Amino acid sequence: MNDTRTVRNSINNQWWRTFTAPIVLFCLACGGLLFFTNNIFSQEVTATITGIVTDPTGAPIAGATVTATDMDRGTTLPTTTNADGIYNLPRVPVGRYEIRVEMHGFETAVHSGITLQLNQTAKIDLKLTLGEQTQTVTVSGGQPLLETQSTQLGTVIDARQNVQLPLATRNYVQLTLLTAGAATPNPTGFKGSQTSFNSDRPYINGNREQTNNFELDGIDNNQVSDNYVGYAPSVDSIEEFNEITQNASAEFGNFMGGITSVSTKAGTNNYHGDAFEFFRNDKLNANEWMNNLTGLSKNPLRWNEFGGTIGGPIKKNRLFFFADYQGSRYDQPGVSSQISVLTAQERQGNFSQLLSGANPTQLYNPYAIAPDGQRQPFAGNFIPQNLLNPAALQVINSPYYPQALNNNVQNNQVNVLHEQTNGNQGDARVDYNISDKDRLFARYSQASIDFPQENSQPLLYNTFSHIPIYNTALDYSRTINANIVNDVRVGVNYVTGDSGTTPGTTGNLPETAGIGGVPISILPAQNFTGGYAHGIGNSDIIQELASTVIQYGDTVIITKGAHTMHVGFQGFRYRLDNFYAGNNGVAGLFNYNGQFTAATGQTFGGGSGQPEADFLLGLPSEVGLGPNTGTTGQRANVFAAFYQDTWRISIFGRRGQ
């Protein structure tokens, strides 16, 4: 027992130390930003505004001042048009904007009511009118912006859709099935009580779900070994997400399937928040059709999802915060099921009941061999006391092995199984607009999920699963001049899982019963293949997984004439530690199949032999024991560079790319 706990703790401590380093750096960076505004990192921006400014004749205007104003935060993003009259504002946070164009000798032009979506390139062309600069021409609203600047295909789900579309389990990944080309062979896989690390993913354009990529504010959000979704934010904390299904830009490489990029909410100049609770209860449900057909009652259900959000300004027009919390309590009240245990007669070696009935079973003595090589039958199916195994007797005569409730050899006891899924998660985000040229975005997310299973019968033991998840993002964007923007991003994605068996109240039963070689206090699994009795004990298949992705990258966006160039690099440090006790488990197992009490040359099921009788004789057909120490570690570095040039050309008076 001590060895196993040491292994588990060493893995968790090792990875916690690994994860605290970036957290400390994250906190120091944020703290430093608050005091030294001239040397600060900036918020991640996730859309682009571009266009051409022309005079009344259609000729491009160079040197015009173009300013995009965030209508919710009051921040401004200025730039100027180049010699071709083109302006480009990359890395713009999603939201509502107004574009203002000013040039000496022309009236000021304003285009309002612009709503940017994630990964969108919005083309806003403006034609100036001759006149005084103090005069303003305003264009309001208009039709939704068409995506004419990219061949990328995908679907954007915004905050309103996330909250208002019916999601029985509040799992945003289920909404990815709304995208063209998305399908799943298992719709119920999106409806479980655990959304992080255990949700199904869509099959995009025929690719398997393992080929998808999930990002959270531009940071990797995948579990390394199986490519599960790492952290699933509350739908109330999602600003929007974009599922790209085809023709992704050069910055999104490495995956054949869909790319689901999620952007979390940010604070604004107004304080805003909400509180919520969603609950499901069998008292409010109709019974299932199959239950009605078979005369069964409704399945019990207690499911509560609750939490809230809050966001607002710390310093108006400059510094904003957003935070959220969500709790999940999925409590399935105890479900009773019939099990079978050894009867009082069988505990004494009396299996005479097996000789009656439609399919009588005769037991044979493996120690009594006739001259013709055949095993001799136990008279009346009575096994002599001197042949009964002392360890087996210690187990079935202990206070933890239940007495039969009736005289039947089957369905003579009851076990009550109680299952829960308890989750707590939250996000904290800071957006800092240092100046017109420098922006900060920083986010910290954490989740903890517990999945205990409790049995009323002590020798069936209880199991647990504990899943802590952490995800951080830090992004700095610097507008060097009207034609060059640099964006630096770092983040850590840490997913771990720990599952196994709890010792319970049985004490060190293997030692008490005299079963040697068991390294922990849990009774090894006693499995009966066929027969009537329910297996007891637990092999304790421990699995401990720690998956970490450290991501860093830099992107430079250069506008030169009709060219918009993206050039950059990305680096990923993958670390995967895993301890698996194997299918035999740390406690081990004993399998019984009735072969030793069957007639010579026969196997169980042919009218002779019984697994429970083999158990009382101490004759297993198979014994197994897994390792209780030893962690495998995998390390990998992935480096990637990309370059993309978007060139807009004019052919016969029409522009294209």
Q: Using alpha carbons, select from 624, 457, 453 the residue that is nearest to residue 526.
A: 624
Query: Looking at this protein, which amino acid is placed at residue 644?
Result: Q
Banded pLDDT at 208 (limits 50, 70, 90): confident
Q: Is 511 left (phi over 0), alpha (psi -120 to 50) or beta?
A: alpha
Q: Which residues contact 556 (CB under 8 A, 6 or more apart)?
A: 484, 485, 486, 487, 566, 567, 568
- Are residue 258 and residue 280 in the same domain, yes or no? no
* pLDDT over 90 at 17, yes or no: no
Q: Single out the residue in 84, 112, 146 at which a domain terminates.
A: 146
CA 593/CA 636 separation, integer angstroms: 45
The domain that holds 137 is classified in CATH as 2.60.40.1120
* pLDDT over 50 at 21, yes or no: no
Q: Single out the residue in 107, 124, 146 at which a domain terminates.
A: 146
The domain that holds 232 is classified in CATH as 2.170.130.10
Per-residue pLDDT tens digits for 293-335:
878 788 788 889 999 999 999 999 999 999 999 999 998 888 8
CA 104/CA 63 separation, integer angstroms: 10
Across 27-44, average pLDDT: 39
Pairing of strands 136-139, 108-116: parallel
CA 243/CA 172 separation, integer angstroms: 12
What burial class does residue 636 get, using C-beta atoms within 10 Å of its C-beta: 0-12 exposed, 13-18 middle, 19+ buried? Answer: exposed
Is residue 368 within 8 Å of residue 375, measured between CB atoms? yes
- Are residue 239 and residue 283 in the same domain, yes or no? no
- Residue 251 covered by a domain: yes
- Residue 38 covered by a domain: no
Banded pLDDT at 19 (limits 50, 70, 90): very low
Per-residue pLDDT tens digits for 419-470:
999 999 999 999 999 998 999 999 999 999 999 999 999 999 999 999 999 9
Banded pLDDT at 196 (limits 50, 70, 90): low
- Are residue 322 and residue 465 in the same domain, yes or no? yes
CA 28/CA 253 separation, integer angstroms: 31
Say what the pLDDT of residue 450 is. Answer: 94
Q: Which residues contact 485 (CB under 8 A, 6 or more apart)?
A: 90, 91, 477, 478, 479, 556, 557
Q: Single out the residue in 265, 289, 311 at which a domain terminates.
A: 265
Split into its structural domains, the chain has a count of 3
- Residue 640 covered by a domain: yes
Give the end-to-end CA distance of the chain in Å, rounded to a whole number. 66
- Residue 240 covered by a domain: yes
- Residue 359 covered by a domain: no
- Are residue 509 and residue 647 in the same domain, yes or no? yes
DSSP sequence for 222-249: B-TTT--B-----GGGEEEEEEEEE---
- Residue 596 covered by a domain: no
CB contact burial 499-519 (16+ within 10 A = b; e otherwise): ebbebbebeebbeebebeebb
Chain centroid to Cα 408, Å, comes to 46
Percent of the chain's residues with pLDDT above 70 = 88
* pLDDT over 80 at 178, yes or no: yes
Which helix (DSSP H) or strand (DSSP E) does residue 11 occupy?
Answer: helix 2-35
Per-residue pLDDT tens digits for 103-130:
988 999 999 888 888 878 888 999 998 8
Residue-level length of the chain: 657
- Are residue 217 and residue 248 in the same domain, yes or no? yes
Token code pair at residue 647? 């060139």
From edge to edge, which strands make up the β-sheet containing 213-216?
Answer: 153-158, 238-246, 259-264, 213-216, 219-220
CA 442/CA 40 separation, integer angstroms: 12
- Residue 106 covered by a domain: yes
- Are residue 535 and residue 500 in the same domain, yes or no? yes
Q: Using alpha carbons, select from 586, 589, 590, 496 the residue that is nearest to residue 541.
A: 586
CA 30/CA 552 separation, integer angstroms: 17
Our CA angle for 587, 588, 589, nearest 5°, is 130
Which helix (DSSP H) or strand (DSSP E) does residue 491 occupy?
Answer: strand 484-502
The Cα-based distances of 360 to 13, 595, 606, 610 in angstroms read 57, 16, 10, 11
Per-residue pLDDT tens digits for 485-502:
999 999 999 999 999 999
Boundaries of domain holding 504: 270-349+388-588+625-657
Is residue 89 within 8 Å of residue 123, measured between CB atoms? no
- Are residue 473 and residue 573 in the same domain, yes or no? yes
Token code pair at residue 361? 């079973």
- Are residue 338 and residue 201 in the same domain, yes or no? no
The Cα-based distances of 593 to 201, 346, 533, 603 in angstroms read 40, 17, 12, 8
- Residue 609 covered by a domain: no
- Are residue 317 and residue 462 in the same domain, yes or no? yes
Which helix (DSSP H) or strand (DSSP E) does residue 20 occupy?
Answer: helix 2-35
What pTM does this model have?
0.80
Q: Which residues contact 332 (CB under 8 A, 6 or more apart)?
A: 300, 301, 302, 418, 419, 420
- Are residue 74 and residue 133 in the same domain, yes or no? yes
Mean pLDDT of the chain: 85
- Are residue 243 and residue 274 in the same domain, yes or no? no
User: Which pairs from 613-617 meet CB under 8 Å and 24+ separation?
Assistant: 613/351, 613/363, 613/383, 615/389, 615/392, 615/526, 615/528, 615/590, 616/346, 616/349, 616/383, 616/388, 616/389, 616/392, 616/393, 617/366, 617/383, 617/387, 617/388, 617/389, 617/392
CA 29/CA 269 separation, integer angstroms: 24
Provide the 10 A C-beta neighbour count for residue 463.
Answer: 18
- Are residue 130 and residue 163 in the same domain, yes or no? no
